[in-house]
Amino acid sequence: DLAQIGVSGLAVMGRNLARNLARNGFSVALHNRTSAKTKSLVAEHGDEGTFVPTETLEEFVAALERPRRVVIMVKAGAPTDAVIDELVPLLDEGDIVIDCGNAHYADTRRREADLRERGLHFVGAGVSGGEEGALLGPSIMPGGSKESYATLGPMFEKIAAQVDGTPCCVHVGPDGAGHFVKMVHNGIEYADMQLIAEAYDLLRDGLGATPAELAEIFAEWNSGDLSSFLIEITAEVLGHTDAATGSPFVDVVVDEAEQKGTGRWTVQTALDLGVPVTGIAEATFARALSAHPDQRAAARAALPGPSEAAQKVPAEERDAFVDDVRKALYASKVVAYAQGYDQMAAASTEYGWDIDLGAMATIWRGGCIIRARFLDRIKDAYATERPASLLVAPYFRDAVADGQQAWRRVVAHAARAGIPTPGFSSALAYYDALRADRLPAALIQGLRDYFGAHTYRRTDRDGSFHTLWATPDRSEVEA
Ligand code: 6PG
C-alpha cells in the first residue's frame, strides 16, 4: 500500500512529527540522507503505526499516494533548497511539498512561486512546541494555497494540540504567511523570556532570595493571569539543583544567551514594515549584549553602579514588591503581544494574506512555546472588530490600567538599583508614547526642516511647509 504522507529529514523534529502522524493512524513513508536514522526510527518505534522506510528519494517518492504529501524537515536555508531541488524533478503535478522547518518567510515566498510555476504546491508550515510538541501535538501554522490545505489540513489538524476540542492548526494564508506568523511567534517567545528573566533578576536582587524560593513565586504566578508554559518551566528551571556542584542550576549556566535567528528576522522585518516591535527588539539585543563577555568585563571594571543600600527592598515591602513585579511583567507582556500582532497585521496588508489574527491566538493556546491562558483573551479581543492596538481592547486596557502604577514603581526601582530591565522599561515607554497627547516628534520635524528642508505639516491647515531658516525673518513657504 502507498503511504499517505512522507517525511524526509529524520533528526529529532522530523522523527517526532513522523511518529505523531503514525500514532494518529496515517501511514508514513520515511526518508533521511543517511539511512541509519530511518532504520533506528523503525526499530525503536515501528510498533506505533505504519511506517514505510525508504533509502533513496526515488524510492521515497514512489512510496507515496497521489497527490503526494512530502514533509521536509531539514535545516533552514541552503539545505532546504538542496532537498527541494532534488525532490522536484521526481514529483507530479498537484503534489505538495511541505517545509516544516523554521524557514524565513521570504524564502518560502520564493519557493512557493517557483514550485507553483511547475504545477506543484509548496506549503511553508510553522511548527512550534519543540521535540515534545512535535510528538504529542504541536501548534501548526501552515501557509500555501487553499487547495493544498484542503488535502493537508485534516491531517495536520489531527496531529496538532487540541484545546477545548479545537485543533491548534489553521490555514494562515497564502505563500509565506505561515512562516511569517511562526517567525513572530518566535519573536514573542524571545520577548516573553526576556521579561521573565528581568522579573527573576529584580526579585533575586531586590529580595535577596534563592532560586528555589523564586521557583515558588513563579509556580504561584502560574496559577493566575500569567499562567503559561514559559512561567511553568521557569519554576522548574529555577528549582533545579546542579548535581555536580550542589549549586542552583541557574548559577552554573554561563550567562550568555544564544540565538538561531528567528528573533533577529522578526526585528529586521519589523523595521522594513515600520512597525515598532520594541519588546522583541530589546529581547534580541539583550541576548546580543549578554554574548559579549569581553566588553562586559571591561565595563564591569570601569563603570560604577548605585550604592548597595539602594538595591534592597525593605522587609515590610517585600510582598508588595513581588506583586508589583508580577503586574509589571503582565503589562509588559501585553505590550510585546500587541506589537507582534501589529506586525502580523502590517504584513497581512503588505502581502495581501488576509490573516485572521484572532485565529492566531486560537492556535497558540496549545502546543506552542508561548502557549498561555491569556491567549483566550486575545482571541476575544479580535472576535468582533480589529482593535487599533491590543492595548485598547477592553480586557487588556483594564488589565494594564490596573497594573500601570506597579509597572512605574518597578521600572523606577530598577533604575535606582541599577538592574537592567530593557524589556520592562521600553514596554512602559511604548505605553506612554502611544497614549501621549503630543509627542516630541514635532521637534524632530522642525530639526529635519532646519538642516535638510525636509518640510513639515501644520496642526492648523493642510499642506507641506518649509521655514526659510537662513533668512532673517524665517518666513514660511508652502512646499
Ligand atoms: C518553537 C521554538 C523553536 C526553537 C526556537 C529557538 O516554537 O518550538 O521557537 O522553533 O526552539 O526557534 O530559537 P533560538 O535558538 O533562536 O532561541
Tell whether 155 is in a known binding site.
no
Task: Give nearest CA residue, ligand 1 atom 5.
Answer: 186
Instruction: Name residue 391's amino acid.
Output: L
Would you state the pLDDT for residue 74?
95
C-beta of residue 258 within 8 angstroms of C-beta of residue 287: yes
Would you state the pLDDT for residue 309?
67
Q: In the annotation, is 146 catalytic?
A: no
C-beta of residue 29 within 8 angstroms of C-beta of residue 90: no
pTM over 0.95: yes
DSSP string, 236-284: HHHH-B-TTT-SBHHHHS-S-----SHHHHHHHHHHHHT---HHHHHHH
Q: In the annotation, is 189 catalytic?
A: yes
Spot the catalytic one: 157, 189, 198, 282.
Answer: 189
The 3-class SS string of 60-120 reads: HHHCECCCCEEEECCCCCHHHHHHHHHHHHHCCCCCEEEECCCCCHHHHHHHHHHHHHCCC
Distances in Å between the Cα of 390 and the Cα atoms of 226, 360, 378, 401 are 17, 14, 8, 13
Reading the chain (479 residues) residue by residue, the pLDDT tens digits are 899 999 999 999 999 999 999 999 999 999 999 999 999 999 999 999 999 999 999 999 999 999 999 999 999 999 999 999 999 999 999 999 999 999 999 999 999 999 999 999 999 999 999 999 999 999 999 999 999 999 999 999 999 999 999 999 999 999 999 999 999 999 999 999 999 999 999 999 999 999 999 999 999 999 999 999 999 999 999 999 999 999 999 999 999 999 999 999 999 999 999 999 999 999 999 999 999 999 999 999 999 999 876 678 999 999 999 999 999 999 999 999 999 999 999 999 999 999 999 999 999 999 999 999 999 999 999 998 889 999 999 999 999 999 999 999 999 999 999 999 999 999 999 999 999 999 999 999 999 999 999 999 999 999 999 999 999 999 999 99
Pocket of ligand 1 (CB under 6 A): 102, 128-130, 186, 189, 259-260, 262-263, 368-369
C-beta of residue 30 within 8 angstroms of C-beta of residue 42: yes
Task: Give nearest CA residue, ligand 1 atom 11.
Answer: 130
Task: Give nearest CA residue, ligand 1 atom 1.
Answer: 128
Among 189, 259, 370, name the best residue to mutate to test ligand 1's pocket (greatest count of ligand atoms within 8 A of Cβ). Answer: 189
